[in-house]
Structure 1
């Protein structure tokens, strides 16, 4: 990984949003030191290789996106033994690293005792890390992503210390509790407390939507490295803005550059899902893009009632062609 003045910038795992298709689109823009896959759920069995290939096909490309960004594969589960067995199998595929999910707030995950619900049991966190670390060759990093707690922050330091003592080489801390979900604000000052309490590097995560947010997050957390999630999806150029490689504030010209990305995503997502589900995937991305550009809000309103893939494809091709024409005339 490269180390620039901006520190490391990591693309967060985002279940149901940042699949390998969107990871490809975003990392082609450049600026990321690494990305983390959607979680692979481990539950009482040894998963077949095809499961990893389906969720993280980058493992067949040397654990890199097509643009060359390293990919860490994330596992989610609560059974130390099965997580260890699956991590051992995954390590044979030479991922850039293995990350363990202790932060997912989704009800479908939490009702089975996974994700952020594990923050109720620091001792179990420690056993999971110890088991996975022992099962994985030393050259493959094992990391963990956590939240500040379930309903409060009373056990945040205990959890972080248990993960570090168990063998996590790095912690990513999403600065909210499970119950807070994705509601602002993020409590970046709590990340600073965790950073001071553990002997391993800590990465700050949560509520970074702009260059100004990134700067405030680093100041409040004391962390040079930041993981960016929905903010990177809402503004695909955000990481390059942070690195000083792009205009610091989004503008209309950026939206013209996003349109071909939308078309590329639309065409590629058909290899990921059935055609009937493709419109929904596009609308999810557009819903976040409209936080950044009024033009995205207008396009979202036009596409939202359309479920015919052919009509959506025609509209996107027309918009891209129009953007290209304007570019030639300017």
Structure 2
């Protein structure tokens, strides 16, 4: 592998799919703030039949907006499963509904998903991964990109390059690599240098993913991986303005974060969206979840999280947030 070197190429920032976190509401708010060039939906589990349109719209209501968030940022539809023909049929439906691209999930570490032969467990079977990508690529129109997201492996990294090559040879447009195995989960460090090894063996565009929390992480990730484009999940939830900070950093400008009051306004906006679509007993949990994910990056979030932790009345919770303004 080539030694690390500074990467000055302007790259895309992609909001990663995160089950139960990065839904349409979160995508709307983060892309309205700016700095993100592309989003990917939570995975849509494909088992047994072609899903009806309403199921696709549940995960990606952006399909009713030409596949874009209200801010005009494209949202790729991600599918998860292990049956090539079934995935291909569902990919056709998503494409017909206006999905700007189809992504295939070979990275989910969930025990339940893996038990049902989905996500990262498929990384033990490069031949099957090839069949899945090939079937979907042949099924959807040529102008619709077919992409994939993988980890470095299931139990270990021994098949990392084999899987990447299988994805490329099947006709994928690009590949996002989370720089850990399933067993490694989300524990630091992310092995960005392994993404660099993969990138040296394939010619399709590779996107680096994993453990990017700030501008320094971003730059180091690009140097070690050799990738221009970076996919960020938890880092963008913890600091929604991280995309803007990175863009400023790339241009040599000040990369300061947003004022806490602006983040509170986002939380209140999120509160309203969640309250409108979920039963009251679930609303406070979503607000606390987001605050909890902000805690490592913001001392204000640390304090507010513990202030609201035991609050269950929604009016009290809203008042507590408003007092932060």
Same fold (TM over 0.5): yes
Aligned residues between the structures: 315
Match of 1:328 in 2: none
CA distance in 2, matches of 1:313, 1:256: 14
Q: CA deviation at 1:219?
A: 0.2
Q: CA deviation at 1:5?
A: 4.4
Deviations 1:135-190 (A, max 9, x none): 10111100000000011100000000001111111000000000111000000000
Is 1:256 aligned to 2:261, yes or no? yes
Match for residue 153 of structure 1 among 138, 149, 157: 157
Aligned to 1:171, what secondary structure does the other structure show?
A: strand
Match of 2:134 in 1: 130
Residues 6 and 242, structure 1, Cα contact 8 Å, conserved in 2: no
Is 1:81 aligned to 2:85, yes or no? yes
Aligned to 2:47, what secondary structure does the other structure show?
A: coil
Q: CA deviation at 1:6?
A: 2.8
Deviations 1:218-272 (A, max 9, x none): 000000110111001101111111111784244xx62121010000001111233
TM-score between the two structures when normalised by the length of structure 1: 0.93
Match of 2:205 in 1: 201
Is 1:269 aligned to 2:274, yes or no? yes
CA distance in 1, matches of 2:78, 2:185: 20
CA distance in 2, matches of 1:169, 1:131: 14
CA distance in 1, matches of 2:175, 2:278: 32
Is 1:295 aligned to 2:300, yes or no? yes
Aligned to 1:300, what secondary structure does the other structure show?
A: helix
Match of 1:315 in 2: 320
Match for residue 306 of structure 1 among 305, 311, 316: 311
Residues 35 and 242, structure 2, Cα contact 8 Å, conserved in 1: no
Q: Which runs of 5+ in 2 are unaligned?
A: 1-7
Is 1:236 aligned to 2:240, yes or no? yes
Residues 21 and 272, structure 1, Cα contact 8 Å, conserved in 2: no
Residues 150 and 177, structure 2, Cα contact 8 Å, conserved in 1: yes
Residues 211 and 242, structure 1, Cα contact 8 Å, conserved in 2: yes
CA distance in 2, matches of 1:221, 1:260: 36
Is 1:282 aligned to 2:287, yes or no? yes
Aligned to 1:244, what secondary structure does the other structure show?
A: helix
Aligned to 1:199, what secondary structure does the other structure show?
A: coil
Q: CA deviation at 1:53?
A: 0.7
Aligned to 1:282, what secondary structure does the other structure show?
A: helix
Match of 2:4 in 1: none
Query: RMSD value over aligned CA atoms?
Result: 1.3
Is 1:144 aligned to 2:148, yes or no? yes
Moved over 3 A (4+): none
Aligned to 1:180, what secondary structure does the other structure show?
A: coil
